[in-house]
Amino acid sequence: MQVKIRSFLMTGIILLIVSFSSMSFANSISKQLLKAADTKSSGNYVRKRFVSLMNKPFDTEKNQKKILIIGDSHAQDFVNMIFESHNLSNYQISTRSIPTRCQPVLGGNATKFIAAKDKSFCAKSDSLAKAKPQIAQADIVIIAANWTENSAKELSTTINHLQLSKEQKLFIIGRKSFGKVSVRAYLRQSDQALRNLRNKVDAKQQKINTIMKSAVSTTQFIDMQKLICDSSANCRVFSSDLKLISFDGGHLTQDGAKYLGNILFRDSQLNQLK
């Protein structure tokens, strides 16, 4: 009888532990989703590191290789991927900000595709042309952006006008998207539903990445979309351990930056920089 009672009590204790663990895990997911729903805070996270490194001069006295990361908010995501995955700690890193509406383009068509209303703004903003002196100092140049079809078509011309030496390395980061993200709607879904959740992304993602791929050598172009999604119609929203990857479909949460950073520096050409 006592054995049965002890067995019953042990079973009850185990069920309580499992129940509390499940509740704790569910609360953890809810907490991260509510945090991601605060788009102001999430946006500040995306920008913070990139801005702290913006226009930072390279120290030519240091015996460290120099990386220059150029672009818009997608370049900001890229910087977060580096730091959250603890890569490139032995490099000097500087950043240059080129707003999405201005685009990273060099050559005769550099300003041709800028909307009339943005001409004045872009003239005052940073650009690849203005960044060329620092580009010449860098060992590695990385350009990441929310590329348009026009800037993608100009890529080969842009790369030629960068005038990089044979010793310098260039990496072009393609577009990325996680489709439509509805953070608050995920609060009502089960863990398994979140693990199985897949989004379809905008068709122009693949179109622009295809244009870029044809303009850039395979050693230079990194197809982020291919790395993070099984296909254009099958893009993961949560990591396998239920970490939300993107808070708005285009930009990364802190967990997402760590998750994708690990993939990026393991499975892409960037693994040679580790």
* Structure confidence by residue, pLDDT tens digits, 4-13: 555 554 444 4
Average pLDDT over residues 34-50: 90
Percent of the chain with pLDDT over 90: 71
What predicted TM-score, i.e. pTM, was given to this entire model?
Answer: 0.88
* Structure confidence by residue, pLDDT tens digits, 173-190: 999 999 999 888 898 899
Q: Which residues contact 49 (CB under 8 A, 6 or more apart)?
A: 76, 79, 80, 83
Taking the CA atoms of 65, 80, 128 and 104 in sequence, report the sign of the dihedral they define. Answer: positive
Distance of CA 147 to the CA centre of its chain: 13
* Structure confidence by residue, pLDDT tens digits, 105-147: 999 999 999 999 999 999 999 999 999 999 999 999 999 999 9
Q: Work out the angle between the directed axes of helices 254-267 and 73-84 (0-180°, nearest 10).
A: 80
Task: Please state, in angstroms and rounded to a whole number, the distance separating the CA atoms of residues 139 and 150.
Answer: 28
Cβ(245)–Cβ(263) below 8 Å: no
End-to-end CA distance of the chain: 63
* Structure confidence by residue, pLDDT tens digits, 53-93: 999 999 989 999 999 999 999 999 999 999 999 999 999 99
SS3 145: coil
| Greatest mean pLDDT among 195-209, 226-240, 259-273 | 259-273
pLDDT of amino acid 115: 97
Residue 204 — pLDDT band, cuts 50, 70, 90? confident
pLDDT of amino acid 253: 95
* Residue 103: exposure state from Cβ atoms within 10 A (0-12, 13-18, ≥19): buried
